[in-house]
Structure 1
Amino acid sequence: MTSFPGLSRSTRTDLTVFPEKVIQFGGGNFMRAFFNWQMQQMNDRGLFGGSAVLVQPISEETNSTFAQQDYLFTVLLNGIEQGQAVDSAEVVSSISRLVNPYTDYADYLALANDPRLSLIVSNTTEAGIVYRPEDRYEDEPPAGFPGKLTALLYRRFSLGGPGFTVIPCELIDRNGEKLLEIVKRHADDWRLGEDFKQWLDTDNTFCCSLVDRIVPGFPRGREQELQQRLGYRDDLAVTAEPYLLWVIEGPDSIREQLPFEQAGLNVIVTEDMTPYRERKVHLLNGPHTAMVPLGLLAGLETVEDVMNDEAFSGYVRSLIEHELIPMLDLPLEQLRSYAEAVQERFRNPSIRHELRSISLNSVSKFRSRLLPILLRFVRERRELPPGIVLALSALLYSYKGDRVVRQDEASVLAIFDRAPSDPADFVPAILGDTSLWGLDLNELDGLAAALQNQLRELEISGPRELLHRLVQGGTTTCEL
């Protein structure tokens, strides 16, 4: 077997080292294949000339592969774009280094000293932009991402430096506004002063944004094939679809600061991102979130598996047509066209998008992607949307023990683990926990009873039988 060298700057001496212009919280698969890949496109065209300093947002041990590969990695694009097959591989060199605030907090705060660092981007998952009252200014570092950010911003303010453009990529509604709100709460808690809070508003720009690219992650099972093709070993390689959309709600000056459009990238800077967000979150991410617990419980592994399974693809189609599209305030033909494109993207045979990877933080994803539709459906139609209720049933069932590998915050898993085991008591306890859902879901007439019945049926018959009944029943709902 041929031995290939690992990817590093010693094996790729042709790569330019660019000055640091961006502070990036989170270096997971998505950010590397989305934001860092876009930075690379701008750098390749001589439009940006900058790199990103990666900040580790959580305390878990850093992946040492980053340093071993000199923060280089390959983005593999597979799929169809404008009717043409795409199968490309590109080394991305837009990350300069990693700063770990848990091991060197002073090094982290020192980022505030460099005025060339003018942009902050983040993707700390939906659970990242949360207020943690236990965070303190004296902590080194504060546990939460907003707390870390507040400390960094205050250091910049104290030095008399310029403000930042802050663009969070977490998939929550009005992410920039919520992040700024939490930063100000920390400023009040920590008594950092009114001048600092005013500086946050006048010298900084917090943008709301929406990201869209399917990124399955590392190409597992293809390692040998890719080493033969690329001529090197890359333990950070990441696969993605060619399609990309980034909607940024902010001033026109962002187009100059980040010349994405000049690089031919599908980035929209707008005064109101609401229509784009609702379409994407509910018609792409919503079906993802709904299919995951059901698919995992049925033994399916990927999104493609779901779409190639008649019962599951029928469920996805019914969910979109009868429950999601009717609750969105956009032109019907536009929604249908987008939904058809989404389902085609789900069927991309070149992308192995594992359900397990999508399952990370499923509770917060359900809360942001499907719960608003459920609430509106009940409010307007006075009945429960069956597809969403079934998705919630499967989520509760999968979190109620070890039926699937649960990937969520420890505090969320603890709530499920200490809940009563009997469905009659388990369901009201979980629905009534406002830290999970933002409200007491027991107040929705009929929801607890429907979930209790479906939990029992999942135990007896399994997810496939319930899906069959739902799809065969068409739009049948539970009247309130």
Structure 2
Amino acid sequence: MKKINQVVTDYEKYPTKVIQFGEGNFLRAFVDWQIHQMNQKGLFKGGIKIVQPLERGMGEMLKAQDNLYTVLLEGILDGQKVQSNEVITEINDVLNPYEDYAAYLKLAEEDSIEFIFSNTTEAGIAFDEQDQMNDQTPKSYPAKLTALLYRRFELKKPGFQIIPCELINHNGAQLKDCILQYATLWQLGAEFIDWINNENDFYATLVDRIVPGYPKDRATELCQQFGYEDQLIVKAEPFLIFVIEGNPKLAELLPLKAAGINAVFTTNMQPYRERKVRLLNGPHTTMAPIARLAGIETVGQVMNDGDFSKFVNDEMYQEIMPVIDLPDAELAAYAEAVKERFSNPFVKHELQSIALNSVSKFKARLLPTLVQFEAQEHRLPRRIVLALAALLVTYGDYPEIDVQPIDMPDVMADLKAIGQKADYVEQALQDTQLWGQDLTQIKGLVTAVEADVQCLLTQGARQSVQMINQEATEA
């Protein structure tokens, strides 16, 4: 079979407008796919040069295919099954700064470049004082970027639109802070700092698209279907949202919406971040402990189960959405999209993987909703309370429970020790090391969780879910 670059030869190459730090699956199926959509409509007319953030990466594999690869979209979107594939042709080059640092710094000379995107993992935006300004490649992404920006400054050229996609809150501000720390550490001068502040725009982002990556189990079949060999197929769900906070001018410079892409340009992304964490990650964190106790293994099985799908739907609409500060219609549309994504028949999302580090996930994803709901409604959110009870049952000392928790050693040890005590629930809820606050201070929570723990142990998880569903029907 011929390789992708032997079959796909007729496409337009654009001048480089984007530097991209990272060549992994997510950026290629998210940012690069979006740039391809804009180019297809003649709205952007720009290419990408990728900088490999780590010494070993996928650069050579991309070059072997002339930087071409296929994005495969599979899933449900707006009630319709989607199965499509497109060849992404936007990558002009891949640079490895560990092999040729001078070539990397030479990017600063290219007048056509306006944008910098990155996804170097959550740990990538960090300051490392060991990194120095010399001929050696710095280890951290912010240090590499600082060196490139300083070269750009020395050439008296315009700054960039800097758009990090790492999954941390206020990612743009954190990246800028690291750069300013390097500017001070390396004694690059006040004029450079002024140039950073005045000539560059840093944006905060929220990125949302499930990207399972290379479909290893179906690769041979897919290549036969495509009519070429592609070692870098990226599988993704059709749903996508890109929320960008910062200078409003970016909406014109980066015409994503005009290309039909689900992009949001805003001066405050926190409600959107809250929406995702609470309406997507929250139900995940609810269903994992409860459904696992019922013998259910995947998110898809949860959504195909009448009892559990109603439970998840009601949690979204009756407990989570009332405490999010966004229009009801917008929240409902997002909730329906999330349910479609949960039901994606092409993705097998294991509840066991979602259950990893459940305590910290509950604290981040569900506890704020529980606290706000109780303060606002003067009652407890029944489904989130059951999730907390199921979590404690899973982590507790109950010989009849064969579902094993997976968490940090200190969390496991803490709950195991408490789990042997008669007042396990109360002691667990008042453990501020686990939750960041004393949950026994929430009115009625200890009693409600104790009752749910007993119901889970005596009646089982499914019966507990059915009882809450029945309560909702009768209300």
Q: Do both proteins adopt the same fold according to a TM-score greater than 0.5, normalized to the shorter chain?
A: yes
Counterpart in 1 of 2:62? 66
Q: Is the 8 A contact 1:287 1:320 kept in 2?
A: yes
Number of matched pairs: 455
Q: Deviations over 1:316-362 (max 9, x none)?
A: 33432343212212334542343133212321324455667878998
Q: CA deviation at 1:37?
A: 0.9
**1:248 counterpart (224, 244, 257):** 244
Assess if the C-alpha contact under 8 Å between 2:72 and 2:235 holds in 1. Answer: yes
CA distance in 1, matches of 2:381, 2:310: 16
From the superposition, tell whether residues 61 and 414 of structure 1 become closer, same or farther in structure 2 (CA, over 3 Å): farther
Q: Percent identity?
A: 45
In the superposition, the TM-score normalised over structure 1's length comes to: 0.75
For 2:7, what is the secondary structure of its paired residue?
A: coil
| Deviation by residue 1:149-200 (Cα, 9 ceiling, x = unmatched) | 3333233223333211011223443332333234334434444333332222
Larger Rg: 2
Q: Using the alignment, how far apart are the partners of 1:366 and 1:59 within structure 2?
A: 36
Taking the TM superposition and a 5 Å limit, the aligned residue runs for 1:3-152 are: 4-7=1-4, 9-58=5-54, 61-62=57-58, 64-81=60-77, 84-125=80-121, 127-128=122-123, 130-132=125-127, 134-138=129-133, 140-152=136-148
- Kindly state the Cα deviation for residue 265 of structure 1 after the two structures are TM-superposed: 2.5
1:65-464 equivalent positions in 2, closer than 5 A: 65-81=61-77, 84-125=80-121, 127-128=122-123, 130-132=125-127, 134-138=129-133, 140-291=136-287, 302-310=298-306, 312-353=308-349, 369-370=365-366, 372-374=368-370, 376-377=372-373, 422-423=417-418, 441-445=436-440
Asked whether the equivalents of residues 244 and 266 of structure 1 are also in contact (C-alpha less than 8 Å), the reply is yes
Letter in 1 for 2:131: R
- Name the SS for the 1:10 alignment partner: helix
TM-aligned CA distance change 1:398 to 1:445, over 3 Å:
closer
The alignment yields a C-alpha RMSD, in angstroms, of 4.5
TM-score normalised to structure 2 length? 0.76
Change (3 A) 1:50 1:364: farther
CA distance in 2, matches of 1:5, 1:394: 53
Deviation at 1:292, TM superposition (A): 5.4
CA distance in 2, matches of 1:329, 1:252: 22
Task: Give me the whole-angstrom Cα distance separating, in 1, the residues matched to 2:272 and 2:23.
Answer: 25
User: How far is 1:461 from its partner?
Assistant: 6.7
State the distance in 2 between where 1:59 and 1:363 align.
35
Aligned residue identity for 2:6: S
The CA distance in 2 between the partners of 1:255 and 1:313, in whole Å, is 38
d(CA) in 2 for partners of 1:101, 1:333: 47
Moved more, 183-192 or 391-400: 391-400
2:244·2:265 contact (CA, 8 Å) conserved in 1? Answer: yes
How far does residue 56 in structure 1 lie from its aligned partner after superposition?
A: 3.0
Q: Distance in 1 between matches of 2:317 and 2:395?
A: 28
How far apart, CA to CA, are the structure 2 residues paired with 1:375 and 1:144?
Answer: 38
1:119 to partner: Cα distance: 0.5
- Rounded to whole Å, the distance in 1 between the matches of 2:370 and 2:384 is 7
CA shift at 1:82, angstroms? 5.3
The answer to whether structure 1 residue 472 and structure 2 residue 460 are counterparts is no
Separation (CA, whole Å) in 2 of partners of 1:14 and 1:375: 57
SS in 2 for 1:74: strand
